[in-house]
């Protein structure tokens, strides 16, 4: 069993990188990718520990992007999460610099978000939010502070009432275009993969395939067929789609520790996940042919 999608407390997870290595070994996960949002800090920290303990640790990243499309005269915007896998060489310095810029743009947004929440009568300051995280501070950390202070009784409520796209507190962040994300990952030597395609929320299977096919034309190399949010029909649909579009297949739990308590490393939600080691063998085979 392997798990190619996980988060540490360097982004919005709650488990420290070295502890995640231990958890993987204890859980029977033979290969693990750390795919923190916008930072390699968790991977960098976990790598020597994984080497010492014999865990196959893969270098990864997750980047939130936006895709806009106009079809039939209508503008539509999607939030698209991209995974990047660096299988044969470490990501370039230029790519790391780009990630720093993304973290900085989030910091600017966070300052505005604090002001907005203050206006709404919420007593919160940036320092206490940043204290929740390490390298990256994002909306999930805001949700934790709102929860701890009793403004809300769940993360879901925090996003619904304050932080989510249709909530009154919402502050826009300039996330990169999906095509730019794909290009940056590829130029840095990585494989760009569409994370949890179910969250594109495209109900019509034909439309969904068109959207993913457009992404492939922009350089997308794979899709996350296996994910905690995918039911058996989704897995079957995405596996078939990957084959038709000649995209690589990946999979992972999207483990965040206590930030998403229902998801377990390796096995997903109520054991709905089991990703065979062959998936990574095949990824590496493809990568070697590039
Ligand atoms: P940020 O990048 O700081 O804007 O935060 C985005 C992150 O917030 C996403 O990666 C999700 O993990 C989380 N998130 C966004 N919307 C929701 C929601 N409705 N409920 C829970 N978590 C969410
Ligand atoms: Fe996350
Ligand atoms: Fe994601
Ligand atoms: Zn994720």
pLDDT in tens, 200-242: 999 999 999 999 999 999 999 999 999 999 999 999 999 999 9
Stated as kind and residue range, the H or E segment containing 58 is strand 56-71
pLDDT at 24: 98
| Cα-trace Rg, the chain | 19
Q: Confirm if 226 and 2 have CB atoms less than 8 A apart.
A: no
CATH homologous superfamily of 2-90+177-288: Metal-dependent hydrolases (3.20.20.140)
- CATH 1.10.150 intervals, the chain: 101-163
> Ligand 1, atom 2: nearest CA belongs to which residue?
138
Average pLDDT of the chain is 96
Give the Cα separation of 219 and 263 in Å (integer).
30
Kindly report the CATH class assigned to 101-163: mainly alpha
Per residue in 28-55, pLDDT tens? 999 999 999 999 999 999 999 999 999 9
Question: Ligand 1 pocket by C-beta < 6 Å: which residues?
Answer: 12, 64, 106, 138-140, 155-156, 159, 164, 173
Give the Cα separation of 11 and 20 in Å (integer).
13
CA of 141 to the centre of ligand 1 (A): 10
- Distance from chain centroid for Cα 205: 23
CA of 256 to the centre of ligand 2 (A): 7
Pick from 243, 242, 206: which is nearest to 223 by CA? 242
> Ligand 1, atom 12: nearest CA belongs to which residue?
140
- CATH 3.20.20.140 intervals, the chain: 2-90+177-288
Q: Confirm if 124 and 131 have CB atoms less than 8 A apart.
A: no
Per residue in 78-121, pLDDT tens? 899 999 999 988 899 999 999 999 999 999 999 999 999 999 99
User: Positive or negative CA dihedral for 93, 94, 100, 106?
Assistant: negative
- Distance from chain centroid for Cα 284: 21
pLDDT at 69: 78
pLDDT band at 4 (very low <50, low <70, confident <90, very high): very high
């Amino acid at each position: 069993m392997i798990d190619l999608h996980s988060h540490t407390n360097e982004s919005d997870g709650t488990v420290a990188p070295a502890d995640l290595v231990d958890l993987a070994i204890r859980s029977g996960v033979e290969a693990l990718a750390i795919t923190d949002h916008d930072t390699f800090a968790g991977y960098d920290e976990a790598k020597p520990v994984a080497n010492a303990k014999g865990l196959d640790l893969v270098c990864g990243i997750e980047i939130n992007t936006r895709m806009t499309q106009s079809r039939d005269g209508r503008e539509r915007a999607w939030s698209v999460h991209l995974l990047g896998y660096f299988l044969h060489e470490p990501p370039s310095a230029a790519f790391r610099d780009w990630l720093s810029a993304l973290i900085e743009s989030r910091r600017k947004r966070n300052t505005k978000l604090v002001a907005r929440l203050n206006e709404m009568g919420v007593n919160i300051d940036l320092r206490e939010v940043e204290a929740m995280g390490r390298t990256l501070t994002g909306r999930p950390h805001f949700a934790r502070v709102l929860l701890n202070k009793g403004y809300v009784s769940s993360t879901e409520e925090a996003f619904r009432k304050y932080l989510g796209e249709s909530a009154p507190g919402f502050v826009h962040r300039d996330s990169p275009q999906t095509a730019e994300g794909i290009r940056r990952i590829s130029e840095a030597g990585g494989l760009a993969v569409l994370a949890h395609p179910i969250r594109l929320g495209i109900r019509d299977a034909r439309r969904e395939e068109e959207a993913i096919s457009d992404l492939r034309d922009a350089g997308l190399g794979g899709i996350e067929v296996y994910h905690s949010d995918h039911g058996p029909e989704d897995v079957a649909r995405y596996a078939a789609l990957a084959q038709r579009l000649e995209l690589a297949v990946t999979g992972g739990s999207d483990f965040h520790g206590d930030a998403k308590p229902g998801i377990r490393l390796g096995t997903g939600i109520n054991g709905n996940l089991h990703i065979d080691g062959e998936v990574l063998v095949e990824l590496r085979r493809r990568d070697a042919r590039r």
